[in-house]
Every structure is written in structure tokens, then in C-alpha cells.
Structure 1
Amino acid sequence: MKKTFIYSTVAQTVLLTIAGTAIAAEDGTEQLDTIDVVTEGSMFRMGEVPFHQAKSAVAITREQLDSQNVDKLDEVAKYQAGFANQVFGNDTNTNWFRVRGAEVSQAVNGLPTFSYGFFTPYVNSFGLEAIEVTKGADAMTFGAAKSGGLINYVTKRAHKDQIGHGEFKTTFGSHNQYGLAADYTGTLTDDERLRYRVVASYLGRDGDWEGTDNQTLYIAPTLTWDISDKTRFTLLTGYQRDHGTPSSNFLPQEGTLVPSPRGYIHRRTNLGDPVKDTETNRQYNIGYEFSHDFNNGLSFNSSYSYSHIDNYHRGAYAYPSAYNADWSPLAPSAAGYSLSRAVVFNDGKAISHTTNNYLTWNYDNAWLKNTLVVGTDYRHNKVDALYSLYGTTSNTNLFTPSVGWNQAQDVSAAPHVQIKSRQLGFYLQNNARFADKYVLGLGIRHDRAEQREYTSTQKVKDNHTSYSASLMYEAPFGLNPYFSYSESFNLPTGLSGDETLYDPNITRQYELGLKYIPTWLDGTISVAGFRAKDTGALVGNGLGATISSADPIYRKGFEVQADVNFTSNWTGTLAYTYTKSESKDSAGKKTRQPLIPTNMVAAKTAYSFTEGLLKDLTVGVGLRYLGHSVTSKGSLYSHARLPSATVVDLMARYAITPNWIAQVNIDNVGNRRYVSGCDYYCYYGAERRATANLSYKF
């Protein structure tokens, strides 16, 4: 891998040298008006706002996060088309996303986060000012990208227009939820060129399963320096500590999907060991963003992030069923409701370095507006930990789970896992607007990826070139049809359930859509259909681990999203998603993939009173319909169909004064018990949760 490191060093140096030479050449030139950087932390490099991109992309604002009272980020897309949310239930400390029937990559401030097992960053929602989403395959942005798409979290930083402003917030709610948060932006110089922002929060709450909980402490100081009117540097730091008793939401199909002879399992049943189970996760982050405008349409951007995660996790879990002598699944009721258990154990650290540097050239004349981006990025990840899925502990009983609590757990056989992964990417993108009507996008990217596991002396290496192309026609009356082709490439980190390194995961996707900005209505409407083929996708092995699929997975779907303002104080959202995901073996036999509902519908509306006794009160209601999905083939109830479910959410917000805001959110107001998904296990959906906030903004 020394060659890759040399290539990376040379590539980064070339771009930095070009930028440095151009900056030096500018010394003594006349300074122009201040440029407001509106894309700090963004993954959208080509300058187009999401709705005008020839693909399914969306930006979720801070105001939208607040209106939904999002304190756990996999709740963010309840009313976004294409998402299947919390398919594994409402975990205490993990965000679960499925987009277009596949997992997504996550990033912070435009740089992808490292993800492996319990070393997946748990991003704090209060520290964000926006979330960007690209649905579907996209290798151009990060290189290593999962098949479902990309989610980028833009953290808060010190903007000039926020100097002297801030927020204090208190939170209380069901499940013993409580929290405090603060946010303030200030300046260190009279000319406001050197600014700082400090964001801090503490949030604690119990999980949906008996005896589980999590407490999160978060602090993120940032510093922004306007070196000149054309040059800006931002230092980003963060620390987060999560501690609690992890959830054990893996339940057998008998008693959840179908009733057992003794009925259904209570949704708060904990088949783990809340006395012995524990987890502590510490995250440290530091990085920078640098931008410089050379004039004449040429600009340079550079960013870097260092992340260090220390994780200690020990949690018991039950097997999904009892077993016959030949290891075929057996209903727990046939074995006296006794289930064998194992212990998942992780103790170690993960360190990652990620950097991205690119030049942008904007050119326009009477008939052409063109944006060209050329860049290179590099990431280096290291894992050093004791890790095992199969520590030993006692059996438990499905209807008397406390017999499995406070039992001995033996994790002494956990092997020492040492993994290093590196990836270097070169990319070239061009976006051209012809005659103010046609938008053509083209992209090519080459990645060199390598991964080593030193304990078992395994190595996997792959070089891959990805392509993308899109065309949008901006027709009269706000109608914008488009077509796009995109690819994604990912070399998953870690050892599979077969104790081998994963195969590369490659996706090719076609998308046809229409984006509509009506002249007769304040809002946007988008329609998209897609087809995708995944090779090397990760699938469950039936024992809580994943392996690379030997067969391709074919996905197709249809999405509708409408966000409108009917009047100045009445808003509405409608999201519809159809997804079909199935594998096809060498004989052409199709098998539907688990966990993915065929149909989902979400709709919400909010009304703000502007006069009378209810002045300054906003009330809202939302409805979410989760269509049927299926269980894994070969499970206890192989390919059984899950029932659909509908839940209702309520919201009320009252502006006591322009500065004091009170808000109440109730999700699943009817406390509907439903199964959100099944593979070999089944997972209950989130139960009713009520939260009240009081915030003071100044």
C-alpha cells in the first residue's frame, strides 16, 4: 500500500501547490466584496440546489429538524419518500437507515465517516444546522458509497449573521427523557473576521426495552477566520460520550410476527441482560475547512477530519429460534420457550483520517453556464479491538426473561481484530447548462482501495472506475424532466460472518424523474422511478452477522414527494414510496429481500394561527403507513408476510414571546404495537413517545 500512500501524497500536494501559487499571485491585488460561503460543509460540490439536481436529492433544514423534534437522527426522514426508517426498531444508540431498499453511507461536513460494527459514529442532532440526502447510488461524491445513497450532516459553525445570538433549550418527556442544550456564536475581533461558536448538550432517556438507557454528552467548539475577503478557514472540533445499557431488540418470529400459544411477547421484553450489559462510547473529532476564491470563476476547497472512537460494548442476545438436531429452526414454544444466547463484545479503538481537495472553475457566456470540478480525496482507517459475536452466557426464557439477568458472561475468547483500510480517489465532474433549458452532468472517478486484517493475515484490494451522467430539461411552467445513470463502489470494512474480508459492493442505477415547481402553488413536487443492480451486497447470515451476497440483488422503485404551502400559515407534505428488492440466483430464481416494505405512505400538515385567542399557536398532525414486507428465506417462518401498520403523530408549538418557544411532540399517539421488520429476527416498531421542549432564542 506504500504506492497508494505516495500517490495520495503527490495528488494532494499538486492541488495544494496550485492553490498556494494562485493565492500568492493574488498578494497586492484589489480585494472585492465579501463572498458569503453558503455551501460550507456541503457534499453538493456542483453548485446546484438539491431540487435542481438531476437526481433525487434533498436538504433538510434546522427548522424542519426542530418542527419534528428530531433527537435521534433515524427519525429525520419519517416524511421523506424513499426511506424505510428504523427497520430494526428504536435502538438506544444506533441510527438505522434504509433508502431505496439498501443501506446508506453517512458523512459529516462533506467527509465520509468510518463505519464498522460499534465504531459507527452516533451523530448528535442538536449540533446540526442541515442534513443533505442523495437517494441512490453515488460514487462521485465520496468514492466509497453504499448502494442506498448518502446522508451528510452539516454541523453548526460561526456565521457572521449569528454573532451575539444563541439558544438555550430544555427537554422532558416519556421514558424518563431529560436534557439541556446551549448554542452561542461570538466574535474575537472588532471587525468580526475571527468568530467562534460553542454548542453543547446533554440528553438522557430510557430505551423501549426494559432496563435499557443511554446518556449523551456533546460539546463542539468551532472557530472561523476570514483571512481575507476571498479566503476562509474554519476549525471544527467535537467530543461526545455515550453511556448506558444497550438495547436487545432481537426477538423471535414466534410471539411477534405470529402469536405463540401464550400470546404475543410484550414489546418491552429484554432478552439480553440489563444487569451485565453495558456500553461506553467516546468520540473525538478535529478537522478544518479551507476555501479560497481566485476570481475569474476559479476557487479551491480543502477539508480534513481526524476521528478517534473508543468503544466498550458487552451485550447478551437471544438466538432467533430453538433448533432441531440438524440446526433447522424450531418454534420456541416447542422447546419450553427456552432460547440459547450469546454475547456480542467489543473493546477497542478506531482511528480515521479523511481529506478532500478540489478545484472548481465556473464559466459562463450567453449560451453556456459551466461548472468543472477536479479533485482528489484520501482516507485511512484503523481498527484495533477485541471483537466477538459469540461470547457465552446462560439461556433465557421468552416469557420470563429475568431468569437470564445478572448471569455470568464469558468473552475471554474474543479474538484480537486489527484492520487497516485505505482508499485514494481521483474525480472529474462537469455540469453544463445550455440555452438556460438543458442541464448536462458528466462524471468519472477512479478509486484505489485496499484492506488488511493482520490477525488472520487477510488482504483484499480493488481498483475501480465509476461513471455518472445526467440530463435535465427545464421546460416551461416549472416542469423539469430528467434522466440519470450513476454507480456506487464500496469495499466494506471488517470481517464477515464467515470470518473473511468482504467482497467489493458495486451498484449500477438508472433513474427517470420529473421535478415540478408549480406557478399556481407555493411548493415543489417530485416524481422518480429507478432500477438498480447490486453485486456483492451485504446480507444477513441468520446469526446477527452479515456476509457478501453470492447472487446479485435487483431493486426497483417509484417515489413521490410533495412539499407545499397551501397558504402562508398552512403547510402540507406527502411522501409515497414503492420498493421491490429481490435476489436472483444462477438458475434465475427470484427471492424477495427482507426488511423492505413494498409500499409506504407518509402525510403531515401543520396550521399556524395568526389572530384571536390561538394566535402564535401551531398545531400539526402526521400519518405514517408501513406496508407489508417479508421475513428471510430459511427463517422459522420463511418468507412470511408481515402485516401493515399505521401510526399517527401529533405536534403543537406555541410562541410565548418571540424568544420563548414551547413545543410538544407525540409520536405513535395510539401506542400501536407493530413489527417494523423481520429477517431471521423480528423487531418491534417504536412505541409511543411524548416530548416537551422549552427553548429561549436570542
Structure 2
Amino acid sequence: MVLRSTTPVSPDKGASKRKPGGTRHFWVALLSSSALLAPLPAIAQSVGETGSGTTLETITVEGGGQTAIGPDASIVAKDTSTGSKTNTPLLDLPASVSVVTEQEMRERGVQTLDQALSYTAGVSTDIYGSDDRYDFYLIRGFYSGGSKYRDGLPIRTQNFTTSRLEPYGMQRIEVLKGSTSTLFGLNGPGGIVNAITKRPQAATFGEVYTTLGDDHVETGTDFGGVLDENGEWSYRLTAKWQDGNNGADFTDDDRIYIAPALTWNPTDATTFTILTDYNKRDGSPGTSIPLGSGLDTKTFLGEPDFNNMDTIERNIGYSFEHDFANGLQFRQVARHTNLDLDYETVYGASADPTARRTAFAVYGELESFAIDNQLQYDASFGRFDSRTLVGLEYTRTTTDETRYDGSAAGIDIYDPSFCGVECITWASVSNSDFGMTTKAVYLQEELTLDDRWILTLGGRYDHVDSSTGSSAGSYSATDEAFTKRVGLTYKATSEISLYANYSESFEPVGANRVSFASPPQPQEGEQYEIGVKYQPTAIDALFTLAFFDLTQNNVAQWNPTYTEQIQIGQVNVRGVELEGKIAVTDSTNLTLAYSYWDPKIEKDLNPALVGNRPERVPNHLASIWADYTIPGNGTIGDVTLGLGARFVGKTYGDIANTTELASRTVFDAAVNYKVTENASLQVNATNLFDKEYVTHVDTWSNSAWYGDRRTVKATLRYTW
């Protein structure tokens, strides 16, 4: 490893960048599967060929049917591939999975992943308010922003270098709750979010839209269709351009998203889809104000010329499926990612105008590759049906970051006068490299008796090599874990199922372990859950009720003098979740969610903290969204009215539970007018009554972060 100079200098965005050699992993892994792919041409038969040489007529399917990855016909999903890595009805899974469909995201005018999840049971969003650097959320009381997936492959975050998902590029977003390492490897105990990328469809479709709002201009398109007469080739192009802000002075939320996709479907048994995208975001770090200052929550106290959270992300990947008949299927999904980050900020202003603020900058580059191979075998033995899944997964992520630490001149918070980059003094600059390689093998058996009892058994072995290097030294570490999962589903009727499960998770600590008092172990989680699901046949709906007991062990804590870390911490969350998604009629939709969490610190170095509630974790979460369409009469088009409410109970800003943050209820609304059969005008309002509320308090700096204030956006959309 070559270490760079640590002489304090002004940040140079280009000087610190390098190109890690991760690209070769993509081609190595792709070629490694060639032995499996080689026999396929001998099996495949063109759609346009028959034994007599007759060319079959092309059939166009309007709308398409629901699948385990979407697209979905309504706000109610029926199947999922996230819950077991097999295409399984939600009713059959021994776990709680929530699905936010593309239609639901459109009705609510979703702009961020945070908004997409805000009406989901078991998920707490907006936990850092105006801090929009990353996708922040809790699942079942545990921070899970690092447990984010796309098309079943992990989105690894190393230190500061990562990006945010673009919801417009997704056709559904799924939340698998509870410990998930048996399926997905190293993760936090609360659960994961898996976003499914938009793919080509069998029918021609398209839309173009423009959105306007306060300091917000946006336009986009999403279209696709079949390229040849036999229907073997289809394509899709999704694109979006946006010029906006993050709701505060001197902030940006500018985006360019372009995602071409191409599918080759030579037979009913074989599908190969190439998924690519370019995602450029010019954003801003979080804005805060001194607690109790009485300032407007939109007040900016940093430096406008040094306030950036900019990322450029490039992805190329594919999804391959082949059914060999006789019950044997093979699936492979892979993705290569390159990501650049420019993060610049000045923060920490106080009531004392002479007190210097903190200046901070990170310039990073991340390169990653992930591939997951799955072999599934389905068989029947009398009263038993068996589904066996064997998987091999490999991931590699490398990150190179250059970090600058310094300070900036003080500012009068009541009459700010900005001084620019010239008033920043840099004290240090450091370079760090991070790397992580994971190799995993997993096995899952789903055994069904008499179409009523479904026993799910799973096990996974993960081998993790991690490394980090800087001017302070280089470190490496190896972690191994075998995690287990047991689930049982009983289908009492064709509409009602009862289930129970036990599952585990693990999450390694970083490679630099010098500060630990003893060799550290991965943080581990285990969950016990029971629940019931109801999917009536009379209406399009799904109701889920779940009870869970979730514990995380080996939580690392600093001793009182901050000289070493000790893994003595233990946190437990018991809870209840109720969720309902109902398409009552073609004109009425209803989404209901309620969560009760009983979070508790079970073990801590400080005995006085045992029994306290972890910071930012509420006891109660509730939400409701309803929309109703008033049919038109020929002269006037259909009018859809939507209204939603989100409740978050009180939380604490510290684990000592001395800083209490009040509960809040925030309302959202939507109106959609169908101008013609193909054109519509929609207006969405979030935080309709412009409620002011604190979501997070930094007790060290006495700074408060506020939730997003009211935003109103109007969208004119044309579809075909």
C-alpha cells in the first residue's frame, strides 16, 4: 500500500482518486459460470420454430401478470422472491415481508427511499430529519440503513462512500423483517430492504412527465417494448432529470438518472436481462441549528461554497434464469458498481459568534462486484412437495478515501455572513483504503405436507476478509459465521396462514481492532417470531399480524475513558406489527400500519443505563393512507383524492434518556385529475400542515435536526 502525504493542504477533488482493480472480478466471475451456461443452446428452441417449420403468431399481453418481482397490478403484492430467494406467495412465507409496489409509490408521489418506506409497518423513517446524506431508517428498532439490497445483491457501504437509491428506477421495494443472514449474509438484526429494478416488459408502454414545485423542476420518461416479431428481444429505458433542493437555504437535490435495460427471452425456459444505470446526484449534507435557538428550521449556518454531497454511480449487471424442466432451475444475478463521492461541509455553529465551526471533507471512490448463483430443485414424493435451494455468493468491495479535517471562522447565527472557502483552515489530511471480500454457500429446504404444512430450514456459511490501511497502519481480519433459520407455516384455509420462525444474523466489526480489549466477535442477532396472514379471495388485500422478540449481542462499547472497546452490550426489542394493504375496489385503496416496540438495553458497561430505551427508537408507530377515485362523467375526467397520516411516538436523543423528543403526527395528501384517457395532472403534498418537529439531537454539539417541512409538487403525466 502506498500512503500519501499528510501535509495539510486545500482539498483537491481529483488528486486523491484512483481506480481500484475491481472490474476484473466481474469478468472472472462471469466466465466462471460458463460451464453452466454452455449446454443451454442445445436445449433452447427459438419461439419462432416448430417441428414443421411453422412460425407462430406473436401474442401481445396487455398489462402483464404479477410476478415475484413485479410489476404489480395494484398496491397489493401477491408473491415475493426476497423472503426465501424463491418465487413464493407471501401467504406461504414463515416471515413478515412488506412490499411497496410501483403503483403505491406513484400515488404518494415518492421521491426518496425514506418516503417509499414511510407507510410500512415495522419501519421508522425520517430518523435524522434534514440529514439527507444517506438513506436512514430503523427496522424493528435497529438501524438498518446499511442492510440495503438491489435485485437481491448487497449495496455495501464502507465509511462515507455510498449513494442513495432512485425510487423512479424501481418497480417495487420489499422489506424482509427480522434477522436475515441465513439468506443474505452479514446484516444488522432488524431486517433488509431489497429494491427491484425496472425491467423490460412483453407489451409496449411508455410515459413522459414533468414535475414542478417550490424550487423544484423535474422531468422524466419510462418506455419500452418488444424489438422483434418473435418477441425474443425487449427493451426499457428509464430516465430522470431534476433540479431541486433539500428544503433548506443553500441546499441541492439535483439528479440525473439514466437506466437502459435489455431482455433476451429465446424460449419460455430462458431469460437473460442486462441492467445498467447512471445515477448522478448533487446533494447537500444535513443542516442543523443550535437547540433552543429559536431560529427558523430552514436556516443555513454552514458555507454555501463548501456544502456538497455529490455522487456519481455507474452500475452494470444482469439477471439470468433457465428452467431445465424436470424441476431443476438455475438463476444467476450479478452487478458491478463504480461510485465517486465529493463530500464537503462546514457545521457546528453556536450562539458564540467567535467560536470556530468544524470543516470536513471526504473524496472517495468505491468499486464493488457481487454475484449470486442459485440452483433450485422441485420434486414431489406422495404427500410431500420439496423445494431445495443451493446458493453460492461472492462479493468484493474496495474503497479509497481522502479525508480533510479543519475549522472555519465563527458566524453570527442570527445574522449570518458567510466567509467562503478562504476562511477554512485545514489541520490534517489522511488517506484510507478499505476492502471487504465475502464468500458464502447456503442451503434451504422448503418441505410441504398436504399443501398445508410448510417447513422451511436454512443454513448459510459466510467467510469475510476485511482490510483497512492509513498512515496510522494497515490491518486485516477474517470472520466466519454459520447462521440458521427454521420456519413453519400452517395454511389453515386457502386465505389464512399461521407461521413461526427462528432466525439469526451476524455483522462483523471493522478490520482495525487495536482498540478492543479482547479479540472481537461479530455482532450477532437472533429472533423468535409468530404471526398470522389473511389474504381474502373476495377482495384484493393482504393483512399481516406479527409478534417478535429480537436480540442483538456483542455490541461494542467504549469504556469511560475512551481508551478501549468492550463487547458487553446487549439490546432487545419485543414488538407487535399489524399491516393491511387493501384494494377495496377499482376506485378505493387503503394502507394501514401499526407497530409497537418495547426496546430495552439489557447489558451495558454503565449499569445505570440497563433498562433504558436506545436512542431514536419509539414505542409506537402508526400510519394510514387512503385514496378514492370519483368517476368522471364524460365531460369531467376521474378525480382521485388521497390522504395519509404518519404517527411516531416520543423518542430519546440519548441512551441516558434525558433528552426527550416529542411524538408527532404528519399528514400527506394527493389529488389526481385525469385530463384525458392518457394524460393526468397530480398534486402531492407532504407534511401538509407544515408541522415543525425535531427528529434528532446531537447532545455533544447541542444541535437539533428537524423533520422535512411542507413540500407541494404538481406532476403532468402522459402515458401510452
Residues 173 and 59 of structure 1: CA distance in aligned 2, closer, same or farther (over 3 Å): same
Aligned to 1:326: none
Q: Which amino acid is 2:317 matched to? A: G
| Of 569-578 and 423-432, the range deviating more from structure 2 | 569-578
Does residue 268 (structure 1) correspond to residue 298 (structure 2)? The answer is yes
Residues 383 and 406 of structure 1: CA distance in aligned 2, closer, same or farther (over 3 Å): closer
Match runs of 1:52-71 below 5 Å: 52-71=92-111
Residue number among 369, 373, 381 corresponding to 2:385 in the alignment = 369
1:535-591 deviation per Cα after TM superposition (whole angstroms, max 9, x unaligned) = 34578999xxx9996411212221111222444422222211112323222658323
- The CA distance in 1 between the partners of 2:510 and 2:224, in whole Å, is 38
Q: SS of 1:78's equivalent?
A: coil
Does residue 593 (structure 1) correspond to residue 614 (structure 2)? The answer is yes
Q: SS of 1:414's equivalent?
A: strand
Does residue 564 (structure 1) correspond to residue 582 (structure 2)? The answer is yes
Deviation at 1:199, TM superposition (A): 1.2
Residue number among 223, 226, 242 corresponding to 1:203 in the alignment = 242
| Of 406-415 and 101-110, the range deviating more from structure 2 | 406-415
Does residue 293 (structure 1) correspond to residue 323 (structure 2)? The answer is yes
- The CA distance in 1 between the partners of 2:494 and 2:90, in whole Å, is 19
- The CA distance in 2 between the partners of 1:13 and 1:611, in whole Å, is 53
Q: Which amino acid is 1:208 matched to? A: G
1:480-529 deviation per Cα after TM superposition (whole angstroms, max 9, x unaligned) = 22111111122356879979999623211111111122466552221111
Match runs of 1:529-568 below 5 Å: 529-537=547-555, 550-568=568-586
Match runs of 1:628-643 below 5 Å: 628-633=650-655, 639-643=658-662
Contact 2:303 2:418 (8 Å CA) reproduced:
no
Match runs of 1:148-547 below 5 Å: 148-161=190-203, 163=204, 165-174=205-214, 176-244=215-283, 246-252=284-290, 254-255=291-292, 264-318=294-348, 336=352, 340-388=356-404, 390-402=405-417, 408-411=423-426, 413-455=428-470, 456-476=473-493, 478-491=495-508, 504-518=522-536, 522-537=540-555
- The CA distance in 2 between the partners of 1:433 and 1:486, in whole Å, is 20
Please list every run of 5 or more consecutive structure 2 residues that lacks an aligned counterpart in the other structure. 1-21, 71-80
| Of 233-242 and 484-493, the range deviating more from structure 2 | 484-493
Contact 1:288 1:305 (8 Å CA) reproduced:
yes
- The CA distance in 1 between the partners of 2:576 and 2:233, in whole Å, is 47
Q: Which amino acid is 2:595 matched to? A: T
- The CA distance in 2 between the partners of 1:192 and 1:23, in whole Å, is 19
Contact 1:397 1:404 (8 Å CA) reproduced:
no
Contact 2:556 2:568 (8 Å CA) reproduced:
no
Report the aligned-residue RMSD. Answer: 3.3
- The CA distance in 2 between the partners of 1:692 and 1:339, in whole Å, is 43
Q: Which amino acid is 2:323 matched to? A: D
Please list every run of 5 or more consecutive structure 1 residues that lacks an aligned counterpart in the other structure. 320-331
1:161-190 deviation per Cα after TM superposition (whole angstroms, max 9, x unaligned) = 2x3x2110111112x111110112144433
- The CA distance in 1 between the partners of 2:709 and 2:490, in whole Å, is 45
- The CA distance in 2 between the partners of 1:227 and 1:547, in whole Å, is 57
Deviation at 1:597, TM superposition (A): 1.4
- The CA distance in 1 between the partners of 2:520 and 2:212, in whole Å, is 43
- The CA distance in 2 between the partners of 1:555 and 1:549, in whole Å, is 19
Contact 1:116 1:494 (8 Å CA) reproduced:
no
Aligned to 2:73: none
Deviation at 1:198, TM superposition (A): 1.4
Contact 1:60 1:130 (8 Å CA) reproduced:
yes
Residue number among 620, 623, 626 corresponding to 2:642 in the alignment = 620
Does residue 131 (structure 1) correspond to residue 173 (structure 2)? The answer is yes
1:347-390 deviation per Cα after TM superposition (whole angstroms, max 9, x unaligned) = 121100101111011123552222110011010110111025x4
- The CA distance in 1 between the partners of 2:306 and 2:314, in whole Å, is 27
Residue number among 575, 580, 604 corresponding to 2:598 in the alignment = 580
Deviation at 1:696, TM superposition (A): 0.8
| Of 16-25 and 465-474, the range deviating more from structure 2 | 16-25
- The CA distance in 1 between the partners of 2:559 and 2:683, in whole Å, is 41
Deviation at 1:304, TM superposition (A): 1.2
Residues 622 and 38 of structure 1: CA distance in aligned 2, closer, same or farther (over 3 Å): closer
Deviation at 1:62, TM superposition (A): 0.9
Residues 202 and 598 of structure 1: CA distance in aligned 2, closer, same or farther (over 3 Å): same
Residues 250 and 464 of structure 1: CA distance in aligned 2, closer, same or farther (over 3 Å): farther
Q: SS of 1:74's equivalent?
A: helix
Contact 1:629 1:677 (8 Å CA) reproduced:
no
Residue number among 681, 684, 687 corresponding to 2:706 in the alignment = 684
Contact 2:476 2:511 (8 Å CA) reproduced:
no
- The CA distance in 2 between the partners of 1:185 and 1:578, in whole Å, is 43
1:432-451 deviation per Cα after TM superposition (whole angstroms, max 9, x unaligned) = 22111111111000000011
- The CA distance in 2 between the partners of 1:679 and 1:441, in whole Å, is 44
Percent identity for Structure 1 against Structure 2: 26
Contact 2:311 2:341 (8 Å CA) reproduced:
yes
| Of 422-431 and 186-195, the range deviating more from structure 2 | 186-195
Q: Which amino acid is 1:399 matched to? A: Y
Q: Which amino acid is 2:447 matched to? A: A
Contact 2:282 2:310 (8 Å CA) reproduced:
yes
Contact 2:119 2:591 (8 Å CA) reproduced:
yes
Q: Which amino acid is 2:409 matched to? A: S
Contact 1:496 1:548 (8 Å CA) reproduced:
no
Match runs of 1:77-92 below 5 Å: 77-92=117-132
